[in-house]
Amino acid sequence: MSVIRVSHPTGIINGKIKLDGSKSISNRALIIRALSGKKFDIKKLSKSDDSQVLQKLLDAKDIKEYDVHHAGTSFRFLTAYLAINKGKQILTGSSRMKQRPIGPLVDALRQLGCQIQYLEKEGCPPLKIGKPKGLSDAYKVSVDAGISSQYISALLLIAPTLPKGMKLNLKGDLVSESYLNMTLKTLVEFGISYDKKGQVITIPPQKYKAKEFTIEADWSASSYYYSMVALAKKGIVTLKGLFEDSVQGDAAMIGIGRMLGINSEWDDGKVTLTKGEHSAISLDYDFINQPDLAQTIAVICAANGIQGQFTGLKTLRIKETDRIAALDQELYKVQSSFKLKGKKHNAEFYGIGSKISFTDKIVRFETYKDHRMAMAFAPLALRHTIEIAKPEVVSKSYPLFWEDLKSLGFVIEPVAS
């Protein structure tokens, strides 16, 4: 097992970071390029494992088995793409991927005439995808909107290319609506029109407009630098590549950061994060549209003794790991916790236990094959030397994370096994 020891000699950070392109936008652009049938330049494409594996599989010729490894978004987008375009393929992934639900998307695609079979556990990968039948007849589809917005995005991406387009009915309460909005805005960017009335989205048959496209930097990744500024004795960090007027829901980090005592100042395409004079003593936040920020904010609250109350976490249990259980397990090592506290307006809410407390012993944090666990806990090294197990998991979304931390004065050393 690989382990690194992370520390910071001063607890003071000052530097500039050029963030990688958004994984979420990159994956949408890659599918659109493939569906357009034309090659066009995608600038600042994410270097993440997820985007790189998707690009590789889309560019591959005459392969029968598509293996996405841990890439959940790629699996869902490829399910829809392959189901209407090719057929006679196997789509598979890692052992964790085989536990993650895909049933609602498969059910919706079958309504269109797609031929998909489960090869192992019902409702989960791997899938056997056959040639579609009857695509020219069906266009009305219903999908459960309360499990993952990626099912909806996968369907919307293929919708313009279908003979009759698609009339998509979203059933139930919508989760991660910001990612749905990201997909719709990206469709418009490539020339696609749509109509949205309540829970029904209608997309007529159209052709994607092939054009050069630049990916904005990843707002999810910015959250780790907000965390570092919040935990540092003193901190100034300038982030390059982010869009202030962003299509990403995680741009909400600006407002969350303000509540946590972090100022964001924009100048010529860069945002500089500084520590403010005051921070909230409590944070009550619904993460339904920003679930990828929850781990980072939980660690900030625990480290700074902020009473956090978190709702909108229903998707966290089906991510790379059960993120709620993982947070609780790792915070327990530093005398805190992340527990279900009750219900608020019929929604479960979770709270932070006591303020993090370190002993003289170096704490080793596990990552559960989850990139966000590694990056959410890394800023604690500003307070105390820590260890991170399997640090290479960050490559899923942010391959240069540890190198960027070194540029801010963090000391990162391998630990002998």
As annotated, the active-site residues are 292
Across 3-64, the runs of DSSP E, i.e. the strands, are 3-7, 12-18, 42-43
User: Exposed e or buried b for every residue in 380-394, given b needs 16+ CB within 10 A?
Assistant: bbbbbebbbbbbebb
Spatial strand order in the sheet of 307-311: 282-286, 307-311, 347-352, 338-344
Q: Report yes or no: 318 and 101 within 8 Å, Cβ to Cβ.
A: yes
- Distances from the Cα of 193 to the Cαs of 111, 159, 188, 189, 371, in angstroms? 23, 11, 6, 10, 35
CA dist 53 to 213, 214, 315, 373, Å?
19, 19, 23, 21
CA distance 126 to 124: 7
CA angle, 206 then 211 then 213, to 5°: 115
Q: Which two tokens stand for residue 166?
A: 């698609």
For residue 405, give the nearest of 158, 167, 285, 227 by alpha carbon. 227
Cis peptide before 125 (omega within 30 of 0): no
Q: Which two tokens stand for residue 273?
A: 């994060």
Please name the helix (run of DSSP H) or strand (run of DSSP E) that holds residue 52, with its range, or none.
helix 49-59
Q: The tokens of 14 are what? A: 């000052």
